[in-house]
Amino acid sequence: MMLNAPSKVVRGKILTVLKWAFFGIILLLLYFPILYIITQSFNASTTGSSFTGFTFKWYVEMFNDRALMQAIYNTISMAFLATIISVVAGTFFAIGINSMHKKRRRRIILLNNIPILNAEVVTGVFLMLIFRFIAILLNIEIFGYTTMLISHVFFCIPYVVLSVLPKLNEIDPNLYDAALDLGCTPFKALMKVIVPSIKTGIIVGGLIAFTMSIDDFVISYMTMGRGVQNFSIWLYLIKNPLRNNAMQKASAYNTLISIGTIVVLIVYNVLRSKKGKVK
């Protein structure tokens, strides 16, 4: 028994080392692309093959590139609008679905999941054909910012619904009726009682919708109009990414997005921890 004790200790140390090594490899695979892009945004080299010096010139060129700034504006504004619209619509849809009978609720949830499980290219082709049919029917050119925004709202709403439904299942089903009995109007009871109870699901759904919208390429490309591009389409349409330092400027934009995301997450967690301590 005494001889087995050291072997158990060694085995435990080996398992610990392997565990941390595996954890480190996973972190490297997840964050190395982000670190590489951040490094390239400060790299003076125009090819990115080697680090030739530290510079901020790619950030300056990014802000001076009108086409890129217009694409960034379209990307961010569309992401915010799509998030707001899909959060409002998805929340009300989720509340309506939750009020249905069990069998009908399952059918609607199944329909809600189809756009999520469906391939993006199929969704993009479907939306493009719908918009093309409307354009031919009305004899007007409708492709542009509006069609792209509608498409983003279309594929963002199901994610909001799936985020809000679990929170609706957690609250007391008699809470709404109690608010009505205390004198609230149906809308006031909804906004003062139900929405605050499911705000965590709404926030999560909004974050997912924003991420899906700001990162979309396939559906956006199929529903865009002339002169309307988001960042991913702008980068795709450049035949030679090394020309006009497009890749370096793209790295600068992605660095700002990554840093902004990290800052938002840190602020959110700090505020949440302070709120927890107050309670």
User: How many other CB atoms are there within 10 angstroms of residue 130's CB atom?
Assistant: 15
Task: Compute φ and ψ for 54, nearest 5 degrees.
Answer: -95, 135
Q: Which residues face 43 on adjacent strands?
A: 54
Superfamily classification of domain 72-248: MetI-like (1.10.3720.10)
Torsion of CA 38, 43, 45, 50, to 10 degrees: -80
Beta-carbon contacts of residue 219 (< 8 Å; ≥ 6 apart): 120, 123, 124, 127, 151, 152, 155
Of 171, 232, 179, 180, nearest to 200 by C-alpha is 171
Contacts 24+ apart (CB under 8 A), 215-222: 216/120, 216/152, 216/155, 218/120, 218/121, 218/124, 219/120, 219/123, 219/124, 219/127, 219/151, 219/152, 219/155, 220/148, 220/151, 220/152, 221/124, 222/121, 222/124, 222/125, 222/127, 222/128
User: 1 falls in which pLDDT band (50, 70, 90)?
Assistant: very low
Percent of the chain exceeding pLDDT 90 equals 30
Q: What would the pLDDT profile of 151-193 be if each residue is shown by its tens digit?
A: 999 999 999 999 999 888 888 778 888 888 888 888 888 888 8
Using the 8-state DSSP alphabet, how is residue 43 labeled?
B
Q: Where are the domains of the chain?
A: 1-31, 72-248
Beta carbons of 241 and 146 less than 8 angstroms apart: no
Q: What would the pLDDT profile of 73-120 be if each residue is shown by its tens digit?
A: 999 999 999 999 999 999 999 988 888 888 888 888 888 888 888 888
Instruction: Report how far residue 215's alpha carbon sits from residue 205's, in angstroms, rounded to the nearest whole number.
Output: 15
Angle (nearest 5°) at CA 263 between 260 and 269: 140
